[in-house]
Amino acid sequence: MEQKYTENGGQLIFVYGRRRIGKTETLTRFCSGKKSVFITCTECTDKEQLSNFSRNILSAGIPAAAYIRTFENWEQALSSVKDIPSDQNKKKLLIIDEFPYMVKENTGIPSILQKLWDTELKNQNIMIVLCGSAMSFIEKEILAEKNPLYGRTTGILRMEPLPYPDAVQFISSYSLYEKTAVYSILGGIPYYLKQIDDSVSLEKNICTKLLSKESILYLEPEFLLRQELREPSVYNTLIQIVAAGNTKFNDIYNATLIEKNKLSVYLKNLIDLGILYKEFPVMTGNAAQVNIQRGLYRIKDAYFRFWYAFIFPNISMLEIGDTQGVYSQIIAPRLDELISLPFEDICIYWLKRQNMNGALPFRFTHIGRWWNKTDGIDAVACNEQRTKIILVECKFRKAEIDTADIKKHIEKDIRGMKLPAGCSVFYYYFPRSGFTKKPVSLQQNMMLRLYRSRLCFELDIS
């Protein structure tokens, strides 16, 4: 946004992302030190929206403030943006937070803004930032091709959760294990991470900040579903089924008996919201990905994954206050299992950063998990020609890995993938607790890299 602020001409920027992602704080910091008008919309009538908009614009000191107390219509109100004050030789800056609330009450506003942008505002030294949390509404009703503002925006920023190195800055006093556990549970949502007190134990934080019915995050996923979707009960069921390990389309269908065409729409909606994602084995061709029954559905949002695995099924126990029982009997025994998949993602993120910095044996163009009907590899990376490949194993277990077993893993992985003759293989192993000291001998065209997982957490990858 800073770059757009310094560019010539008008700028119409859209910033959006799920609730709690940090949009408002990002915009507040962006406005710091700049003369700006910051308007926050609320769920109210169109008349009240216009009154709120007028009050904010007129109080900024535009000339019309000497003559009127409110604008008569949205054409007048939005046209007045060109009169807001600015710093010398700087852009006039208007932020409209929760813009979808405005549009839901008056669907004509995008058309009005589009006309004004085309005829007046785009050639002004002005920057308008529209922001919102209702992701499905924004993508389908505002940004989609059929809508008035399509093609007018000069920048679109979809805010995503923080990666591991940035997320754990919120809990810097915790051990590496505790940081990884918190990240596995909450992901990179700043608001969620701020709820954690790293001066007390992980167990206490889980019990008081997540499992307690008085806590802010207790019913957060359910609230988000109700905000975004019309049939929350259906989506509740679908997410719980995926959280229970039913990741194939047919498995989900058999568990729900929802008509297949409808089921595919429901799943796509959850993908669009960033709650689910569909994963294919790395190096799978585009033709295979078109097949709706190929690939696995997984929960992308960390807190949704935790909530539907541990809170939603045990809501009756939690409603009577048995947080300690749920933690000690249900969560604690499965905590390492919960961390294992995010741990793989952390290792993959580290490899991507190493790849970008040219610190790997070759530059890969594809990376991801790989599996077939009988075998699976935590991650595989390869070059475009598929003549060089990295096989990655990530083991989040307390016991050290016996290096004598690594060769067996390598041979099994290579058999499973059916690699072509002459392919150069690099094997990266990331265990939680390190290795025994027994040596490993490999074929001439293979190279083994053994990493302690601490590298993924502490190496400078910013």
Residue spans per domain, the chain: 2-158, 166-333, 339-458
Q: Which CATH class is domain 339-458?
A: alpha beta
pLDDT digits (tens, 9 = 90+) for 1-22: 999 999 988 999 999 998 899 9
Contact 49, 41 (CB under 8 A): yes
pLDDT score of 18:
87
Contact 127, 5 (CB under 8 A): yes
Write b or e for each residue in 267-288: b if 16 or more Cβ atoms lie within 10 A of its Cβ, otherwise e: bebbeebbbbebbbbbeeeeee
**DSSP designation for 37:** E
Angstrom distance (rounded) from CA 203 to CA 210: 10
Structure tokens at 233: 């009960």
pLDDT digits (tens, 9 = 90+) for 139-158: 888 888 888 999 899 999 99
Per-residue pLDDT of the chain (462 residues; tens, 9 = 90+): 999 999 988 999 999 998 899 999 999 999 999 999 999 999 999 999 999 999 999 999 999 988 899 999 999 999 999 999 988 889 999 999 999 999 999 999 999 999 999 999 999 999 999 999 888 788 888 888 888 999 899 999 999 999 999 999 999 999 989 999 999 999 999 999 999 999 999 999 999 999 999 999 999 999 999 888 889 999 999 999 999 999 999 999 999 999 999 999 999 999 988 899 999 999 876 555 555 567 899 999 999 999 999 999 999 999 999 999 999 999 999 999 999 999 999 999 999 999 999 999 999 999 999 998 888 899 999 999 889 999 998 888 777 777 777 777 777 887 888 877 788 888 888 888 776 766 555 554 556 666 655 555 544 333
**Distance (Å) of CA 211 to CA 108, 168, 170, 334:** 43, 21, 20, 16
CATH number of 166-333: 1.10.10.10
pLDDT digits (tens, 9 = 90+) for 405-448: 777 777 788 788 887 778 888 888 888 877 676 655 555 455 66
- The model carries a pTM of 0.87
Angstrom distance (rounded) from CA 202 to CA 210: 11
Instruction: Give domain 2-158's CATH architecture.
Output: 3-Layer(aba) Sandwich (3.40)
